Amino acid sequence: MTIPAYNPFNPILPRDENALPVGREVPDLGRLPDWDLTDLYPAPDAPELKRDLDALERACADFARDFEGRLVSLSPAKMLDCVERYQQIDVLAGRIMSYAGLRYYQNTTDAARAKLMGDLQDRITNDTTKLVFFSLEFNAIPDARYNEVFTAPDGPARYKPVFDRMRAMRPYQLSDELERFLHDNSVVGAAAWNRLFDETTAGLTFQVEGETLGLEATLNLLTDHDRARREAGARALAAVFENNIKLFSRIHNTLAKEKAIEDKWRKMPSPQTARHLSNHVEPEVVEALRNAVTAAYPRLSHRYYRLKAKWLGLDKLQVWDRNAPLPTEAPRLIAWPEARATVLDAYAGFSPKLAELAEPFFDQGWIDAGVKPGKAPGAFAHPTVTTVHPYVLLNYLGKPRDVMTLAHELGHGVHQRMAAGQGELLASTPLTLAETASVFGEMLTFRALLAGTTDKAERKALLAGKVEDMINTVVRQIAFYDFECKLHAARAEGELTPEDINALWMSVQGESLGDAFEFMPGYETFWTYVPHFVHSPFYVYAYAFGDGLVNALYAAYEGGLPEFQSKYFDLLAAGGSKHHKELLAPFGLDASDPAFWDKGLSMIEGFIDELEAMED
């Protein structure tokens, strides 16, 4: 557990159709908020930033001087001091990189912002190399001594969950020298390839009916009411992806091989092991989730898309029809004030406390919602550090789906605010639980909208939109996970050609989407733009985990579980201090039970049942 060279952001929401309309007129949605980053630092050249950089350098040197070679002999009280000093270093480094990263994501094409992030990343990597000893030496402490120190009344007992997770890495730990090398090398390894991917995708342009559009604007066309325009967007995407396929193949080949080399040295049993360890989730739980979802493909995505083909009057769907609006759905733009009121009212309907926690995001510059050239695509909520507050990035276009994205990211933000009370080391939530509040926030907003409509066509559109979002979050993400598993397994056998990767992609797409689709030539390249595969290998199953978990939680809420709200807030406030089994026990839920996942999937089936009944 050393401070990373780059403090990663929550990856982009899996709605790959969120869009940035570069080259097109932006609709008038009211005044959209921008970030005010002064709560981190006033400016890139602010003396406060230099002060913290100097403080970080001193803190790392002092920490190494005081504790290297001595961890095993520290008394409980001294170990507590050691852990808390380490935590303060984590706060300093996280604050600096959060500022640099957020500025960069506001405009990824600005060379000065990219340079600042790169320079700060290099400096922090150099400073924190002195801390590499910490996890190595800590994991060498004998179990008896570790338990003695971490259960003592005057010791660091509250931090034990963090260090239990760290010690799970003991079997895979390398020598001190090799760990230091990997730490130093990170800035020219995965981090460099990540930046190449980001800057390449940000710079792509697409020619659509005489317009020059960016990636997100072109993806946005896939939800257009005009089918011809959707097709034009899909074909433009395929053409540009094909033109850049060699570069994207090189990025994926290199990152998969780099990971395989490190996994081999660490003796990781599988490419997925590191992700499962960081998520604090057992491989068999992930396998149970994956198997439940793939077994449900015929009952979920296959069945739904056959319905959608009927609604659209088509024998077969094309890829540009996957997220098309229904023919009966009237195009509607939702101005920012209405979006704000919709989400806050839905949150308040669950608990006034939830709305109170979300409100400062709107009023204090914690949301960057506007559409801007060079801005990062999609949406995320970044927690920064526990001594400040989270920031939310959106690309708000006024679509109903964008309102759901707002509800989703505010859920993350509320979760991060509540967990901050745990302190920097304990606040971070494993990815499997990180989607809980975001998906729950979406569900609250959806249910509020559904309860407020009496029009059959509007209800149908809301239900269909929710089913599609859930399919994108569950079915699509598990298909992504299977693609990654196949990709890494195939790369272990040798270099992959673009055609090899394309074939792996199509194998999971056909299986997950079903017989309602036929796939245009060029769709086989659509793996190229998915950022999760590059930034966070095997992250994607966390979305399906979160959706299934929330569906089960919401069923308990609707079923009138006593004191649900207080139990829910306790879950959020726990951050990463408890295992998922302990957190779910008050709700009568257990994710290790294979039947658990069927409960969540049955909610999606129920929505499809209602849509089918509307056909009668």
Q: Is the pTM of this model over 0.85?
A: no
Q: Percentage of the chain with pLDDT > 70?
A: 95
Instruction: Give residue for tokens 């992700």.
Output: 275
User: CB-side exposure of 578: number of CA atoms within 13 Å?
Assistant: 14
Q: Band of the pLDDT at 247, cuts 50, 70, 90?
A: very high
Q: How many CB atoms lie within 10 A of CB 330?
A: 10
Residue 147 pLDDT greater than 70, yes or no: yes
CATH, range 336-471+543-594: 1.10.1370.40
Predicted confidence at residue 377, as pLDDT, reads 79
Helices (H) and strands (E) in the chain, counts: 28, 5
Q: Is 583 exposed, middle or buried (0-12, 13-18, 19+ CB in 10 A)?
A: buried
Q: Sorting pLDDT into bands at 50, 70 and 90, what band is 25? A: low
Nearest of 296, 409, 313 to residue 18 by alpha carbon: 409
Residue ranges in 364-430 assigned as alpha helix (H): 400-419, 424-427
Tell which residue, 378, 348, 509, 345, has the closest CA to residue 16.
378
The most confident of the ranges 28-32, 52-56, 218-222 is 52-56
Look at residue 243 and tell me whether its pLDDT is greater than 60.
yes
> Three-state SS for 151?
helix
Residue 558 CB contacts under 8 Å (≥ 6 apart), including other chains: none
First and final C-alpha spacing in the chain: 57
Assess whether pLDDT exceeds 60 at residue 9: no
Tokens of 528: 């190229």
Highest mean pLDDT among 162-166, 188-192, 283-287: 283-287
Half-sphere exposure (CA, 13 Å, Cβ side) for 213? 25
Residue 303 pLDDT:
97
CA–CA separation, 62 and 11 (whole Å)? 34
Question: Residue ranges of the domains in the chain?
Answer: 37-188, 336-471+543-594
Please give the Cα distance from 405 to 469 (Å, whole number). 10
**Helix then strand then coil, % of the chain, to nearest 5:** 65, 5, 30
Nearest to 100 by CA among 52, 157, 141: 52
Q: Considering the chain, what percentage of its residues have pLDDT values greater than 90? A: 71
Q: Could you give phi then psi for residue 393, rounded to 5 degrees?
A: -110, 135
pLDDT at 602 over 70: yes
pLDDT single digits (tens) 382-418: 999 999 999 999 999 898 889 999 999 999 999 999 9
The domain 37-188 is placed in CATH, from the list 3.40.640.10, 3.20.20.140, 3.20.20.80, 1.20.140.70, at 1.20.140.70
pLDDT at 180: 77
pLDDT band at residue 21 under the 50/70/90 scheme = very low
Work out whether strand 367-368 and strand 391-393 pair parallel, antiparallel, or are unpaired.
Answer: parallel
Q: For residues 101 and 91, what is the distance between their CA atoms, to the nearest angstrom?
A: 15
- Over residues 308-343, the pLDDT tens digits come to 999 999 999 999 999 998 887 777 789 999 999 999
Q: What is the mean pLDDT of residues 93-105?
A: 96
- Specify the pLDDT at position 440: 95
Q: What Cα–Cα distance (Å) separates residue 128 from each residue in 85, 92, 182, 183, 225?
A: 13, 11, 12, 9, 51
Provide the 8-state DSSP code for 396: -
367 φ, ψ (degrees, to nearest 5): -120, 135
Q: What are phi and psi of 315, to 5 degrees?
A: -70, -40
pLDDT tens column, 341-378: 999 999 999 999 999 999 999 999 999 999 888 888 78
Per-residue model confidence (pLDDT) at position 482: 97
d(CA 358, CA 402): 17
Q: What pLDDT does 24 receive?
A: 47
Q: How is 95-144 classified by DSSP, letter by letter?
A: HHHHHHHHHHHH-TT-HHHHHHHHHHHHHHHHHHGGGHHHHHHHHTS-HH
Higher confidence at residue 306 or residue 166? 306
**Same CATH fold assignment for domains 37-188 and 336-471+543-594:** no
**pLDDT at position 616, please?**
57
In the prediction, which pLDDT does 582 show?
A: 92
- pLDDT band for position 155 (cuts 50, 70, 90): very high
